[in-house]
Every structure is written in structure tokens, then in C-alpha cells.
A and B are shown apart, each in its own frame.
Chain A
């Protein structure tokens, strides 16, 4: 166990050479690479931090913008709602007014239609009654309705009550105008003479009558001067009939309406 001094010196030299070589080929390159990588990573981290800061700044900006947008949106929404409510009220008011006007028009139209229907109904009824009567008279008594109408009118003149007779005399005596005789059909000369005779007898004078055919009278004769009118026609009967029917309908409707009212209450 001895120390070989040549080996010692050689090993010292070997070691120093190894230190130099490793420093050159190992430590320096490795440490440089490590430092460079650290620097690179630090740079990247710094850059990432900067980007993060920028992103946060941008995020804050967007947040603020969003908040601003939200508040504006809310305000606009509120305003829109208020406007919509006002518009809604206006529209409802207008619609109500329009509905009321339409309803009123409808009622008017309905009433007009009702009156028209009533008139038509009356006319038809009169015509039908006249046709039926004419046929009935012809079938039963072989008498024309025109002739019988004239007879009835003259008979009616003859059986006037005292009061009616007086009113008739007052009206025709004070009147200088010609007396007008309207009839629903054309009177023949005989009938005209009979009527003229009957009136002259009633007035105890000789007057000239004017004759005129008016189909609306429906088988009737009407005697008129200023302020007075005396007539006989089917219209009188029909009006009476109509009045009676109306009264009966009303009487029938009244209990039903009362029932409905009770039921609804």
C-alpha cells in the first residue's frame, strides 16, 4: 500500500484536463441552454402576463359595455312598455268607439230593415186578404169586390152617426174646393153616379166630384177635402187586424219576458 507519486502527478493533471474539458463540453453548453430556456420561458410568461392583463382589460371594457348596454336596454324596454301601454289604451278606446258606432249603425239598420219588413208584411197581408176576399166573394155570392165596395161605401155614408154626419157636413159645406174621391180601382159610370147621388143626398146639394184611382188603397174608397177625410177600405180592417195581432203578441211576449227576467235574477 504505497503512493506512486508519478501516478499522483499524472492523476492531478488528468483531473485538471478533465475539469477543463468538461467545463467546455458539458457545463457551459448545458448551463447556457438552461439559462436560455429559462429566459425564453420567462419571456413567454411575461408575454402571457401582458396578454392576460390586456385580456383582463378588454374583459373589463366588455363588462362595462355590457353593463351600459343592459342599463340602456332596460331603459328602452321600460319606455317601449310605457309607449305600448299608451298605444294599447288608445287602440282600445278607438276600438270601443268603432264598436259602438258599428253597433249603433247595426241597430239603425236593423230598425230600418224591421220597418221595411213590417211595411212589406202589411202590404202583402193586405194584398193577400184582398185576393182571398175577392175570391171568397166571387165564389160565395158571385159579386165583384169593386161593386160590393161601392155598395158598402154608400151604405156606410147612409148609416153615419149624427156626430159623424155633422162633422161631414161641416167639412164639406165650408169647403168650396172640389171633393176628391180616391179609389183603388177604376169606378164605372154607374158607380160614380151612385156615389155622387149618395153624397148629394147627404149634403142636400148638387156638387161635382173628382175621381182618382189610387191602387195603394187596396179595394177601398176615400172621400177627402181640405182637413177632412172619410174612407172605407180593407186597409181599415187590416190596420185593425194588425193592431190586434200586435197587442196579442205583446201580451204573449210580456209573460215570457217576465219569466226570463225572473229566471235570470
Chain B
């Protein structure tokens, strides 16, 4: 039994390996982009719009709203990253309803790659907002003694992101595979439904945590102090 889609290799040339994870990822990418292109081809600005446009608008404005609620005042700047995280993980996980499908998020390499993206996005947005020094100063908050703990926190949360997503998705897939081999046909279907729910929830958790980390980096020192004062008073 293969635990990761990385182990299904289609083509290999030295370091370069084309495995199931990459192929599935490209498929999902293609699906997302073609769907987006097809739906946005005939966008209307009237009050009456098509169902698909309405569906897409609901998703995009929903993501926008979530980003705003977390504390990022200009969600248009972050929706590209956070929205793509949610859509990619969500579509990857929902695909488990197709028999024989293995989500790319069941690969630790994919979840690590996504966590790495978040890990890099946090300083990217933080520096973009406050500059290099301003961002680095945030590691000395509230005192310089906290520097090692802040650094450890930064790395550990990235690791936690990767492992959490991988663990949940991989375990779900594994459980379904095991149940299919030992139990009647109906029970894995129920587990599949549960897998749909956990897959969506995981996509939401991953993207919302990424938003929280970015928001923490983007918020200025003054704002942090203000929040602190409010909390202590």
C-alpha cells in the first residue's frame, strides 16, 4: 500500500521526477483555470447574472469577506494568495469523491510546499508593509528575549501547517482505502461524505491560518501596542 502519491512515479530523469502528485496538481490547475476562464468569459455587470457567475462571485466575495474579518483591511491585495490556497486545497480534497483519485494534499511534499509558500508570504507582505527593519523588529516584540521563541514559533507553525493538512487528508484517504478492503460497500461511502466535510474544513483552516499569520505580520507595531493596551485595560 502506497502512503503518498509521490511514490507513484510516471517518469524519472535523475533528480527530476514526474509523480502522481504533480500530475494531479496540473490537472487541478487546468480545471481551475479553464473553469475560471469559461465562466469569466461572459461576465455581466447587470443585476441579472448567470448561475455560474453568481456561484463564482459568492466564492470570491466570501473569501474577501473572511480576509476582511480576520483584520486585513484591503482584501484585494491578499485574495490572490489566500483565495488560491483555499481553492486549490478545497478542490484537491473534494476530488476524493472520484474513485481511484488521490489528492495531491495527501502528499507531504505538497503540504510542505504550501506551508513553505505561507512561510515566505508572511515576510513578503510584512516587509511590503513596514520595510525590512520594521518587519525584523517584530521578532523583538515584546522584548528582545522573545527573539528565539518568535523564530521557533515562526518555523513550528509552518511545520504544523504542513503536517496538519497532510495528516488529515492522508489519514482520510487511508481510512477509506482500508475500509473499502474490509467492510461492505455502503460504509466507505459514508466515510467519503465525511472526507468531503473534513477536506473543506481543512482547506478553510489552512487558508484562514495563513491569513492570520499574514495579518499579524502586516499589522504595525503601534496597532499591536494599541491592541495590547485595550487588552490590559
Contact = CB atoms under 8 A, between A and B. Distances in A.
Interface string A1-20: 11111111111101111111
B102 interface: no
B107 interface: yes
A7 B21 contact: yes
Contact of B108 (A3, A14, A18, A37): A3
Interface in A14-73: 14-23, 25-27, 29-31, 33-34, 36-37, 40-41
Contacts of B57: 30, 33-34
B113 A26 contact: no
B66 to A, nearest CB: 14
Nearest to B25: A14
Q: Give the interface SS of chain B, mostly helix, strand, loop or mixed.
A: helix
Contacts, number: 122
Contacts of B56: 26, 30
A18 B30 CA distance: 9
Interface in B65-115: 76, 79-81, 83-84, 87-88, 104, 107-110, 112-114
Given A1-B108, A7-B110, A11-B22, A18 B53 contact: no
Interface stretch (B36-44, B127-135, B139-147, B176-184): B36-44
Contacts of B113: 7-12, 14-15
Most buried by B among A6, A20, A23: A6
Interface string B35-69: 01100100111110000010011001100100000
Contact of A4 (B19, B26, B36, B47): B19
Contact of A11 (B25, B44, B83): B25
B114 A15 contact: yes
B11 interface: no
Interface string B13-33: 001110101100110010011
A3 B44 CA distance: 45
B193 interface: no
Nearest to A38: B45
A22 B32 CA distance: 8
Interface residues of A, number: 34
A18 B84 contact: yes
Contacts of B19: 4, 7
Nearest to A11: B113
Given A4-B109, A7-B113, A23-B80, A41 B47 contact: yes
B175 interface: no
Contact of A22 (B25, B53, B83, B117): B83
Contact residue range for chain B? 35 or more
B43 A33 contact: yes
Contacts of B80: 19-20, 22-23, 27
B3 interface: yes
B4 interface: yes
A258 B64 CA distance: 117
B60 A3 contact: no
A22 B107 contact: no
Contact of A21 (B26, B33, B43, B116): B33
A10 B37 contact: no
Contacts of B79: 27, 31
Nearest to B84: A19
A97 B117 CA distance: 117
Contacts of A27: 60, 76, 79-80, 83
Contacts of B25: 11, 14
B15 A6 contact: yes
A26 B86 CA distance: 14
Contact of B84 (A3, A22, A36, A41): A22
Given A4-B109, A6-B17, A8-B113, 17 more contacts: A5-B109, A6-B16, A7-B19, A8-B116, A10-B22, A11-B104, A12-B116, A15-B84, A15-B114, A19-B84, A25-B37, A26-B83, A30-B40, A30-B57, A31-B76, A37-B46, A37-B47
Interface of A: 1-12, 14-23, 25-27, 29-31, 33-34, 36-37, 40-41
8 contacts: A1-B3, A8-B116, A17-B29, A21-B29, A22-B83, A31-B79, A34-B60, A37-B45
* Nearest 3 CB-CB pairings of A with B: A11-B113, A7-B109, A26-B36
